[in-house]
Structure 1
C-alpha cells in the first residue's frame, strides 16, 4: 500500500479563483465583453453597469456557458478554452442566471436534488446538501411544494438554493434579488456574506444599496469594458453633489459611468 503524502491530500489553492486577461466574449455577433482584465478571489464582489454593459455575457462566460472569443480566462486554476475539459471546473461552480428553467411539477426538493445530480455531487451527500441549501434560502416550509405553485420571490430563492447546493468555490448570481421583498433581501445579504467567507462570489445587480450592504468590492462595466475595480469606499469617493443618484454610492457609480462614456466618445 502506497503512503499518501500531505501534499496530495491538501486542498487545492489558487492565487485567484477567477482571472481574465484581455477577455473578449461575443453575444451573437456583438462583442459584448471587450478586452477585460479581471482578478477575483475570496469574498463578495459586485458587478455593476448599465443595461447593455456586458454583465450577463460576462457571467455566462464565467459559468462556461459560452466560450471566450479571445484573451484568456482561468477558473479555479484551469484555463477555459476550446480544448479544456470543463467538468472539474463546473463541479466547483454555482450559477443563477437571470432566467432559469425548471420542471413545473418538480417539488423544490426534487429540483435542487436534480441540479445537485447534474453537478455530479456524490450520491450519498445529496440529501443533506439539498436540505441545507433549502434551509439557507428560507424555503424549508415549501420543500415539498411544486415549483409551479411558488411565487416569483420563492422561485428566485429556489434558484439560489440550486446555485449553492454544491458549496461552490465560485458562485455567480445574475440579478438574484429580483422578486425578493425587503425582508428577503436582508436575509439574502446575510447569506452572501456567509458564503463569501470561503468562496468567490460575483453578484450582478442594479441595486447599489445591496452592494454597499453585502459586498467588499465592486466591478463596474460599461460598453463591454472595465470602468472600475476596487473597494466600495473607493467607488463612493468618485461621486459628488452634482452627480445623479439618491445616495453617495449611486453618485459614485454614476460618476464613473459618465466619465467613461465621455472619455470614449
Structure 2
C-alpha cells in the first residue's frame, strides 16, 4: 500500500478562479461584453452596472451558458472555448439566474435534490447536501412545501439553495436579493460572507449598499467593459458631495460611471 502525500489530498488551487482577457460575448446579435479583462479569486465580488451594461450576459458566459465570441476565458484552471469539455468545470459551478425554472409540484427538498443530481453529485451525498443547503438559506421549515406555494422571496432562497448544494468553487448569483424583505437581505449578506470564505462568489445587483456591506471586492461594468475593480472603501472614496446618490457608496458609483462616460465620449 502506497502512502498518499498531503499534496495529493489537498484541494486544487488556481491563481484565479475566474480569469478573462479581452472577453467578448454576444447576446443575440448584440456584443454585450466587449473586450473585458477580469480576474477573480476567493472572496465575495459585487458586480455593479446600469441596465444594459452586460452584467447578465457576463454571468451567463461565466456559467458556461453562452460561449465567448472572442478573447480568453478560464474557469477553475480550464480554458472555456468551443472545444472544451465543460462537464468537469460545471461540477464546480453554482448558478442562480434572474429567472430560473422549476416543476411547481416539486417540494423544496425535491427541487434541490433534483438539481444536485443534475450536477452529477454522488447519489449517497445528495440528501445530506440538499438538507444543508436548505438550512443555510433559512428554508428548513418549508423543505416539504411545494414550490408553487412559496412567496417570491422564498423562491429566491430556494434558487440560492440549489446553487450552493454542490459546494461550488465558483458561485454566480444574478440579482439574488429580488423579492427579499429587509430582514432577509441582512441574513443574506451574512450568508454571502460565509460562502466567500473558501469560494469565488460573484453577485450581480443594483443595490450598491448590499455590495458595500457584504463584498470584499467591487466590479463595475458599463457597455460591456470594465470601469472599475477595487475595494468598497475605495469605491466610496471616489465620490464627492456633488455626485448623485443618497449614500457615499452610491455617490462613488455615480462618479465612476460619469468619469468613464466622459472619457469614452472624447
Pick the TM interval, shorter chain: over 0.9
Partner residue in 2 for 1:41? 41
CA distance in 1, matches of 2:118, 2:39: 28
1:1-265 matches, cutoff 5 A: 4-265=4-265
CA distance in 1, matches of 2:253, 2:31: 23
CA distance in 2, matches of 1:102, 1:54: 26
TM-score normalised to structure 1 length:
0.98
CA distance in 2, matches of 1:220, 1:252: 11
Equivalenced residue count is 265
Q: Offset at 1:211?
A: 0.7
Q: Offset at 1:258?
A: 1.0
Q: Offset at 1:167?
A: 0.5
CA distance in 1, matches of 2:180, 2:6: 45
CA distance in 2, matches of 1:7, 1:83: 30
CA distance in 2, matches of 1:233, 1:142: 38
Structure 1 residues not aligned, in runs of 5+:
none
SS state at 2:33 partner: strand
SS state at 1:190 partner: helix
Q: Deviations over 1:126-153 (max 9, x none)?
A: 1110000000111111101000000000
Q: Offset at 1:250?
A: 0.2
CA distance in 1, matches of 2:262, 2:54: 18
Q: Offset at 1:10?
A: 2.4
Q: Deviations over 1:168-187 (max 9, x none)?
A: 10000000000000110011
Bigger shift: 172-181 or 255-264? 255-264
Bigger shift: 189-198 or 6-15? 6-15
Q: Offset at 1:4?
A: 4.2
CA distance in 2, matches of 1:212, 1:23: 26
Q: Deviations over 1:200-238 (max 9, x none)?
A: 000000001101110011000011110001111111111
Q: Deviations over 1:108-139 (max 9, x none)?
A: 00000000000001111111100000001111
CA distance in 1, matches of 2:250, 2:232: 11
Q: Deviations over 1:22-57 (max 9, x none)?
A: 000000010000100000000000000000000000
SS state at 2:206 partner: coil
Q: Offset at 1:264?
A: 1.1
CA distance in 1, matches of 2:246, 2:81: 42
Structure 2 residues not aligned, in runs of 5+:
none
